[in-house]
Amino acid sequence: MTEKIAHLLRHGQPDTNVAIQGWVRTKRELKEFTFLEINDGSALANLQVVLEPSLPDYKDLLKKLNTGASVEISGTLAASPAKGQRIELKATTLQLYGEADPETYPLQKKRHSMEFLREIGHLRARTNTFGAVFRVRNACAAAIHQFFQDRDFLWVHTPIISASDCEGAGEMFTVTGFNLNKIPRNEAQEIDYSQDFFGRQAYLTVSGQLEAEVMATAFSNVYTFGPTFRAENSNTSRHLADFWMGVRVMAFCDLVGDMDLAEAFLKHIFKTVLERCPEDMEFFNQRIDNSVLATADNIINNQFERVTYTEAIALLEKAKKKFEYPVKWGLDLQSEHERYLAEELFKKPTIVTDYPVEIKAFYMRLSDDEKTVRAMDILAPKIGEIIGGSQREERLDVLEQRIINQGLNPKDYWWYLDLRRFGTVPHAGFGLGFERLVQFMTGMGNIRDVIPFPRAPLTVEF
Ligand code: 4AD
Ligand code: MG
């Protein structure tokens, strides 16, 4: 049986026989023997393997063992005399699975730019940086499940294809079975979706929230975790067209309960990742952003700042900084404003609450002032909005009016409105932008570098 390199580096004992599988990172030929560095993705560090000339086919193999080649090696572990590693593997057999031609294999041992690595998206996971990113991403995902499962939340699976626009922002991709060369039209020359696969227009979901609310009115505490899609034409370092969202909805809960849980949730994820991926996090701190570990410590050990939108606007108006976009009560906060608050002013995650009704989604609970809704955004230093949440409108008449005011048709939301007709309860929830979390955690500058296969305008190659 083969073993994972991460396990051997941590627990491997000298004089035991083991086998590993992986890819050659580097080869160093000396007179008496040859060193290989092997990586199998389980850890940032490689396992050093020593090949001696007594190995069958030694000369011939050496020619073929170039960076990128895949191998299985068995041998005996030995204490390593070299600095920085506890253990190495003395090979007794080596099976070469696939060669990688050094003339054409793009990942030679040197630093490559992120832009270049995006062009070889099918190979970049084999680099140190992307190995660390995807291990941390995995640990974040596992921490999300653990957090909710430990608190008896039900994981519910919401659909990817949906007929309703959850955010009411019209940024949806249509899903159709039409032959695009022969789209049926009605007399008014509009597309006749009644003849389409679903008998009406359908979309890729922008958020599983409305469906999650259905489940919350039966199970109280539920969460979803899966991909969501937005047809925003935003070519930024923080937007994707296909991103993952962790949504939680809790019945019998108000905005304060929502914020408290969101804060505990982020703290839990940071803590878990530091425990599970210390080498990867150290790597990010050294090579990507030297504030990553201090940020994690700050998140875990300090309370988040909480201000209302109205207070935030006053603070922004007082700021000595020149902003590109105007600051005025009623206008949405731009990312420069969000970053100023979280990064420069408070220097920690900042929860902004009670936004103007006009700039938020229809399902957020209207406050007594009728000017604001019980919304909250959690703003992270360097990233801006990382979580968006709210207490939901549980009053039928108010919700119907909000839908109409936003130019939407209450008929399209009949089942959502039914939740208020039958056994309505105060409830609240939030959605975490999963890639923004991974960005925040790792210090990676571009959101396209924290998801294996980024989708963005004009980007769908891999
Ligand atoms: O603020 P949003 O739009 O909120 C919702 O979708 C609610 N239904 C959530 C809820 O209350 N249950 O999106 C939630 C989060 C944002 O805070 C942001 O972090 C992330 O999703 N997000 C994006 N991430 C990457 N690319 C995009 N285009 C994103 N749009 C939103
Ligand atoms: Mg939002």
Give the ligand with the smallest distance to the CA of 385: 1
For the beta sheet containing 174-175, the strands, ordered from the edge strand earlier in sequence to the opposite edge, are: 161-162, 202-204, 174-175
- The CA 137 to ligand 1 mean position distance, Å, reads 18
Cα-only R_g, the chain? 26
pLDDT per residue over 26-84, tens digit each?
999 999 999 999 999 999 999 999 999 999 999 999 999 999 999 999 999 999 988 88
Residue 182 identity: K
**How distant, in Å, are the alpha carbons of 12, 147, 241, 361, 454 from that of 374?**
54, 25, 27, 11, 33
Among 304, 314, 387, CA closest to 350: 304
Check residue 336 and give its pLDDT: 94
Q: What is the pLDDT of residues 101-133, one digit of tens each?
A: 999 999 987 889 999 999 999 999 999 999 999
Predicted confidence at residue 219, as pLDDT, reads 97
Q: How confident is the model at residue 167 (pLDDT cuts 50, 70, 90)?
A: confident
CA of 430 to the centre of ligand 2 (A): 9
Residue closest by Cα to atom 1 of ligand 1 = 388
Chain CA centroid to CA 123, Å: 20
CA of 167 to the centre of ligand 2 (A): 9
Of 350, 385, 427, 451, best ligand 1 pocket probe by most atoms within 8 Å of the beta carbon? 385
Residue 253 in this model has a pLDDT that exceeds 80? yes
Read off the tokens for 182. Answer: 């022969």
Binned at pLDDT 50, 70 and 90, residue 272 comes out as very high
The CA 225 to ligand 1 mean position distance, Å, reads 12
Distance of CA 229 from the midpoint of ligand 1 (Å): 10
Closest ligand 1 atom number to CA of residue 431: 9
With a cut of 90, say whether residue 1 has pLDDT above it: no
pLDDT tens profile 376-420: 999 999 899 999 999 999 999 999 999 999 999 999 999 999 999
CA distance 160 to 170: 16
Query: How many Å apart are CA 174 and CA 182, to the nearest integer?
Result: 16
Phi, psi at 104, each rounded to 5°: -120, -15
Using the mean position of ligand 1's atoms as its centre, give its distance from the Cα of residue 244 in Å. Answer: 9
Coil, strand, or helix at residue 18? strand
CA of 234 to the centre of ligand 1 (A): 14
Probe target for ligand 1 pocket from 144, 165, 207, 229, with the most ligand atoms within 8 Å of CB: 207
- Which pLDDT score is estimated for 83? 83
Of ligand 1's listed atoms, the one at least distance from the Cα of 377 is 17
pLDDT at 109 (0 to 100): 77
Q: Whose C-alpha lies nearest to ligand 1, atom 7?
A: 431
Higher pLDDT pick, 204 / 170 = 204
Within 6 A (CB) of ligand 1 lie 166-167, 207, 209, 230, 232, 239-240, 243, 245, 247, 385-390, 429-431, 433, 435-436
